[in-house]
Chains A and B, each alone.
Chain A
């Protein structure tokens, strides 16, 4: 039945008790005080044990609601993204829905066989071989032995570890280990799949394979709950998302809108570098990079602007300013140069502003930063310029094409024009056919 509600969460809440250690006001505590404090702590702990209560370190106890009054519904076949900052309650929510921990308040109803993947390779045993670990991990994730047996070859194939099947996994490279672990997980066939940020592992080729596998899972009518920090993945895999903030549902709706809201929460739509002018030599005092979205996220294909302020105590003849856009792996992708001979600049003393506009930024989704260079050509001079500034992220958030946006797949996307035509219809041949 499509449209049937398979997950229904009502007013779910989870509280933890946290202890704080309060010291006397003087800051330093004497040995005698420390001994006294520990002794008091021990007596209190002993009393707690006797009464069967939870022991909490520290002498001031605070109740903390990791999740508070959370309600939402998921229909069969829906792929729901759950986003939010660290500590927003995402993992707690998944843990409750996977029945690992109990809620303090509220209830949740789940209809169907659930498998949760909160970690890759849960329960792998270092001393066991790859073959043995497939069975172990499969059973832990809830597969029956018969199911694992029937999918065994497929799993081994997917993980590409045939040769090392009978080697203990502690001898595996970390890449092989992760591949094996994910291969088992990818062959789970539950009705409801709960996933926590597990795609952030493995090499690029393997990540692609996993994304593909997940897409198939989502397309085959399975219900998926998916937590991620990677907006690209959330945008690519989910239609609907929930934004958690401080343990509460801050927003619930179409992924693109929810992601936008999350980005706004992440901070302003620009990133700034700034330093006070020394006044002794020409220098870059401020760089501001304006991204198309909040949270320093630049939407692929949209305009991006960079403002550069330069303070010159005296005119700088034949000035030249340039910068590199660097990938997070410190590889330059774009070099941009501005020469005085082309755009006159810094021809008088004072503070000047240069503006550089990218009408359609076509960098591949990923993280980038800027390295600046500043000098003059005649007489040849070189000034200090800031490096590793203005970090930003490029993302494709609405135009999602299959098999296209994968982390580190490329650095740059060119605007191209494809054409297609039939050169040899079936039955004829473009080449002369030789008859005997």
Chain B
């Protein structure tokens, strides 16, 4: 019985936090499942949207950057290169934008039930995996079409998927927390995501960036992630030092995100 004794005090919630996070894992699963279940409810095309959006974007990028601007694609079909970059990018962007609003769209829950709040943005990002997995199938289909065979490197893909997840989680936690207080960030995120699409190597290969700027460019964590994705799937060349920088940036952002979130979490119910 002593295990279920709870002390409520100002600043006290710190202690049980990580244990509670584990104890509430079923709620996490249920919330992630809910976000998946309602994703395409009451749409005519349903899950087809998960196919249409990335395919259309891929076509546009291929035509603009591949055909018109004639950018290099390092030996793989341009469309394939774009799609392999689009997968982690779309996952990151959807995860970040959905998670940033996750607490605000669940105000009722936050103000009426206790649970470690970190569950909410994390579950929302997890739900972005459906689109990602559907995208993986499309990618596999395209590789078959272009007769591109993956090598052993594809086995490392899950590691970079995890990296993409953490890359989305760090900033999400930060923005979610701040968003509860200052709704301004609701307007900042769509803008950042739109902007990020062009500063990340989604529509082009990062090899078009001059060599001396490559490391600086890797400060954008998506650069390392997208490069690594292309390396795993298509065997494109990779700048490992750049990936290292991206990993470091992801870790720092994650740490900042968790710290900010934990600092503000106690006041969520009062502010939301």
Contact = CB atoms under 8 A, between A and B. Distances in A.
Interface of A: 16, 49, 54-55, 95-114, 116, 118-119, 122-123, 125, 127-128, 132, 135-136, 139-141, 144-145, 168, 191
Interface string B14-56: 0000000000001101110010011001100000000000000
Contact of A128 (B34, B108, B269, B271): B34
A99 B114 contact: yes
B1 interface: yes
Q: Which of B1, B41, B112, B271 has the most CB of A within 10 A?
A: B112
B267 interface: yes
Contacts, number: 108
A203 B28 CA distance: 34
A102 B266 contact: yes
Nearest to B7: A109
Contacts of B31: 139
B63 interface: no
B216 interface: no
Contact of A135 (B1, B10, B13, B30): B30
B112 A107 contact: no
B3 to A, nearest CB: 10
A123 B5 contact: no
B75 interface: no
A103 B267 contact: no
Given A55-B182, A101-B269, A102-B266, 8 more contacts: A16-B270, A99-B6, A99-B8, A103-B9, A110-B7, A112-B4, A122-B109, A136-B34
Contacts of B210: none
B35 to A, nearest CB: 10
B113 interface: yes
Contact of A119 (B5, B42, B112): B112
B181 interface: yes
Contacts of A55: 181-182
Contacts of B29: 139
A316 B182 CA distance: 71
Contact of A116 (B27, B38, B113): B113
Given A118-B112, A123-B113, A145-B26, A54 B267 contact: yes
- The residue among B12, B109, B114 with the most chain A CB atoms within 10 A of its own CB is B114
A136 B6 CA distance: 25
B111 interface: yes
B11 A140 contact: no
Nearest to B1: A111
The 3 closest A-B pairs by CB, nearest first: A139-B30, A99-B114, A127-B41
Interface string B112-136: 1111000000000000000000000
Contacts of B38: 125, 127-128
A154 B1 CA distance: 28
Nearest to B266: A102
B7 A107 contact: yes
A54 B13 contact: no
A222 to B, nearest CB: 14
Contacts of B182: 49, 55
A105 B9 CA distance: 7
A145 B13 CA distance: 26
Nearest to B106: A123
A97 B9 CA distance: 10
A135 B266 CA distance: 27
Contact of A111 (B5, B266, B267): B5
A244 to B, nearest CB: 18
A139 B271 contact: no
A401 B114 CA distance: 36
Nearest to A108: B8
B11 A141 contact: no
Contacts of A111: 1, 4-6
B112 A100 contact: yes
24 contacts: A49-B182, A95-B269, A100-B114, A101-B270, A102-B9, A102-B10, A102-B13, A102-B266, A103-B8, A104-B10, A107-B9, A109-B5, A109-B7, A109-B8, A110-B6, A111-B1, A116-B114, A122-B108, A123-B108, A123-B113, A127-B42, A128-B37, A141-B113, A145-B26
Contacts of B181: 54-55
A140 B10 contact: no
Given A49-B182, A99-B114, A125 B34 contact: yes
Contacts of B42: 127
Given A54-B271, A108-B8, A127-B42, A100 B111 contact: yes
A116 B111 CA distance: 12
A204 B34 CA distance: 32
A27 to B, nearest CB: 31
A135 B23 CA distance: 17
Contacts of A107: 7-9, 12
A108 B11 contact: no
A139 B41 contact: no
B113 A140 contact: yes
A44 B37 CA distance: 43
Nearest to B263: A52
Contacts of A132: 34, 37
Contacts of B108: 119, 122-123
A12 to B, nearest CB: 8
A100 B113 contact: yes
B215 to A, nearest CB: 31
B10 A103 contact: yes
Contacts of A95: 269
A306 B153 CA distance: 91
Contact of B30 (A112, A114, A136): A136
Contacts of B112: 100, 118-119, 122
Nearest to A102: B266
A102 B11 contact: yes
A190 B9 CA distance: 22
A145 B5 CA distance: 23
Contact of A140 (B109, B266, B269, B270): B109
Nearest to B181: A55
A97 B8 contact: yes
A119 B38 CA distance: 23
A16 B270 CA distance: 8
B26 A144 contact: yes
A106 B12 CA distance: 11
Contacts of B9: 102-103, 106-108
